[in-house]
Amino acid sequence: MSNELIFGFHSIEAILNNAPERFLEIYALKGREDQRLNQVVNDARKFGISVQFMQRKALDNKANGEQHQGIIANVKAARPYNEKDLDDIIQRETTPFFLVLDGVTDPHNLGACLRSADAAGVHGVIVPKDKSAKLNGTARKVACGAAETVPLIQVTNLARTLRDIKEAGVWVVGTAGETDTVVFDANLTGPMAIVMGAEGDGMRRLTREHCDELVKIPMVGSVSSLNVSVATGVCLFEVLRQRSAL
């Protein structure tokens, strides 16, 4: 299993809280004295994690252009989630709730979607192994810790996975601008998978064909679409709103 660099307080704190054994070393900005950095350093040392203090230029070079907030960590890559983990969630949860990302290739969007998924109570985010953003340091930083709490489930064949979860009783709702059904009018209270397509292209044909229902977000302004992470937040929180009303 390979190693990876992660950046920023939220992602590092999340791994410290959930899987401290993954840390190999932490690199912190030399001369920075504030409570948050000191807390992370102290917590890391309690687990026996090495902390190396570096000048800003050296830290910037190690981050390779990423916004690191004065702290970087070298960690063991997390175990990837797969179809078996998806089956386990469906068996375990009474009303499973999934987010499916079809062709989202920007790690910033992936991280933002993970953050919204965590906040809305999603049990897992499903992505195809190919043509999908990787859970790298950028995605983890944008996710603000959600990458450590929401399983990112990579599947070999997304269309087949949608068929399988439908057979398990999960209602698959895709998002498409050309449908007449507004997301706020759909019944989203049961076992649910919300499918978001790539910006511009939307869902692929096979993905669309495996949806039980298509919904859209109403647009009343001059723009014709939303960023995929923003649209994801709207749809996920409508599911949460409807479930909370029960």
185 band by pLDDT with thresholds 50, 70 and 90 = very high
246 has a pLDDT exceeding 80: no
The sign of the CA dihedral 128, 133, 139, 140 is positive
Tell me whether domains 3-76 and 83-245 share a fold.
no
Task: Express each pLDDT in 100-130 by its tens digit.
Answer: 999 999 999 999 999 999 999 999 999 999 9
Q: Is residue 74's pLDDT more than 70?
A: yes
List, in sequence order, every residue forming a beta bridge with 198; answer none if it has no partner.
202
Q: Give the residue numbers of the binding site for S-adenosyl-L-methionine.
A: 197, 217, 226
Tell me the range of 58-72, 137-151, 160-174 where mean pLDDT is highest: 160-174
Residues in the chain, how many?
Answer: 246
Cβ atoms of residues 22 and 98 within 8 Å:
no
CB contact at 8 A, 173 and 193: yes
Give yes or no for residue 4 having a pLDDT over 80: yes
Q: What's the rounded Cα separation, in Å, for the pair 169 and 13?
A: 36
Q: Please give the pLDDT value at position 172.
A: 98
Q: Determine contact, residues 154/129, Cβ cutoff 8 Å.
A: yes
CATH no., domain 83-245: 3.40.1280.10
Q: Which of 9, 236, 11 is nearest to 137 (CA)?
A: 11
Per-residue model confidence as pLDDT tens digits over 127-151: 999 989 999 888 999 999 999 999 9
- Residue 202 confidence (pLDDT): 86
Question: Which of 88-97, 108-117, 176-185, 232-241 comes out lowest in average pLDDT?
Answer: 176-185
Q: What does the DSSP assignment read for 61-129? A: HHHTT---TTEEEEEEPPPPB-HHHHHHHHHH-SS-EEEEEES---HHHHHHHHHHHHHHT-SEEEEES
Look up the CATH number of domain 3-76.
3.30.1330.30
Provide the H-helix boundaries in the chain.
9-18, 35-46, 56-63, 83-92, 107-120, 137-143, 158-167, 205-209, 228-244
- Find the mean pLDDT for residues 59-87: 90
Residue numbers belonging to the annotated binding site: 197, 217, 226
Please report the pLDDT score of residue 1 as a whole number.
55
pLDDT at 152 over 80: yes
Task: pLDDT band for 32, please (50, 70, 90 cuts).
Answer: confident
What confidence score (pLDDT) does residue 225 get? 79
Sequence spans of domains, the chain:
3-76, 83-245
Nearest to 72 by CA among 33, 102, 41, 101: 41
